[in-house]
Amino acid sequence: MKFADLGLSDELLEAVESAGYSEPTPIQAQAIPQVQMMKDLIAIAQTGTGKTASFVLPMIDILAHGRRRALMPRSLILEPTRELAQQVAENFEKYGVNHDLRMALLIGGVQMGDQVKALNEGVDVLIATPGRLMDLFERGKILLTGCDLLVIDEADRMLDMGFIPDIEFICEKLPANRQTLLFSATMPPPIKKLADRFLTNPKYIEVARPATANTNIAQHKVHVQSRNKREVLRHILQTDDVTSALIFANRKTTVRELNKSLQRHGFKTGEIHGDMDQASRIKELDQFKKGEINILVASDVAARGLDIKGVSHVFNFDTPWHPDDYVHRIGRTGRAGAKGRAFTFVAPEDAEAIANVEKLTKMDIPVFEVGQAAAKQDKKPERTTERSPRESRREKKVEAEEREQRREKRPASPKPEKKPARRAEPRAKTVQEEDEDEPGEWNGPVPGFLGQSAL
């Protein structure tokens, strides 16, 4: 099947072809006709299947006919994170290049002024995170009564982030007679309840079993000790033909420290996590997309929906606490039919977490034996090539710094309680000692001295 078989307009087909696509993915082939017929839709699709274009493309043709009004967006797309909202906006710009459509992006971390100005001028599509949308709505800067099309994207992620009450509030302010599209990778009971309440006779599409990983991704688990994770990571980065990689950690502090460690060892890396402002996050992502850096260390803020071409590897530096996050993390590779590799580091304390992942994905993840790969190299895997004396000294200095950092963070072991020394039984003084003692003076050892001081 070709995109031309889906009934899209000539202007839209030209934009799709210019973007380098000719054949729709399974989710696109099934969803686009349903959206064009103005039906409600529930689409269950694993990450990396092209679901963003499955609602962006038909929306562009639908919105091509109509009139904009101030403060009243004609359609609304809800996204759980700023990065996802930004990516959907980029899709609209790319595919809507031949259409006269206006778009507004409402996300936190940026000034409201430009967002309010865009709303005042009227927009065809509003892409928003729930928090910023609720803020502007309560300030009276936006009206939802003219919104005829709602998209709830990454619904299960919305649930994880606690946005369901906000979504329910927003849905109640929208016109009852509207079209609603709900996209999710999984369908937990709260999402099913949400769909039953706000969708009318929806068409149900499922292109993959919920919580299944892309078959184009070769998955591995690596048994490690917490103290040698960095060494194992550097070894695989140097020996497994890594062109670009995303490395996920559970904590923001781990993201920062790991990024600095990799940079000290000469890797071109960046970082992205929730403590960074929006401008810094966008800058790091742009550098990664342009190839200025080829490794991005991230928290789960980057685990969902980010479509970055050419990511060859994904590393779970920490086994994810929530098994659903595993599927979304490794879904950053193996996209659009490409092959990818995913490595999950499993420390002894991660036994329960990896068991939950394997239970969810219904597979035993194969073990990757680092020792066998390292046996072909030198004793220390990070030194696989001959180093100059200068490089060797720099490498030793870096390792010494990291050892010192680990030593500083290690909790101090409690000092054993000092037992009082046993007092020796007094002995009888000699006549000479009695003669040397002066009245009122202490004739024992002076504290802090081992012997008699010289005069």
Structural domain spans, the chain: 3-206, 217-390+397-406
Say whether 217-390+397-406 and 3-206 share the same fold: yes
d(CA 268, CA 247): 13
CA–CA distance from 118 to each of 125, 134, 142 (Å)?
11, 17, 11
3-state helix, strand, coil in the chain (%, to 5): 45, 15, 45
Q: Classify 102 as helix, strand or coil.
A: coil
Series of mean pLDDT values for 10-residue runs along the chain (455 residues): 92 93 92 96 83 95 91 95 90 94 89 89 95 93 95 91 93 95 91 95 83 78 94 95 94 94 96 85 89 92 69 95 86 82 96 93 91 44 44 59 59 54 49 39 41 39
| Residues 217-390+397-406, CATH architecture | 3-Layer(aba) Sandwich (3.40)
Give CATH for domain 3-206. Answer: 3.40.50.300
pTM to 2 decimals?
0.65
Specify the pLDDT at position 244: 94
N-term to C-term CA, the chain = 103
Confidence at residue 405, expressed as pLDDT on a 0 to 100 scale: 59
d(CA 203, CA 210): 17
Amino acid letter, 144: L
Query: Are the C-beta atoms of residues 324 and 156 closer than 8 Å to each other?
Result: yes
> Given this model, what pLDDT does residue 287 score?
93
DSSP H helical segments within 269-366, as ranges?
A: 278-290, 323-330, 351-361
On the CB side of 351, CA atoms within 13 Å amount to 2
Alpha carbon distance 330, 336 (integer Å): 14
Residue type at 231 in one-letter notation: E
Q: Please, is 284 exposed, middle or buried when counting C-beta atoms within 10 Å of its C-beta (0-12, 13-18, 19+)? A: buried
Sign, CA dihedral 65-68-74-80, equals positive
pLDDT at 392: 54
Nearest to 328 by CA among 81, 47, 49: 47
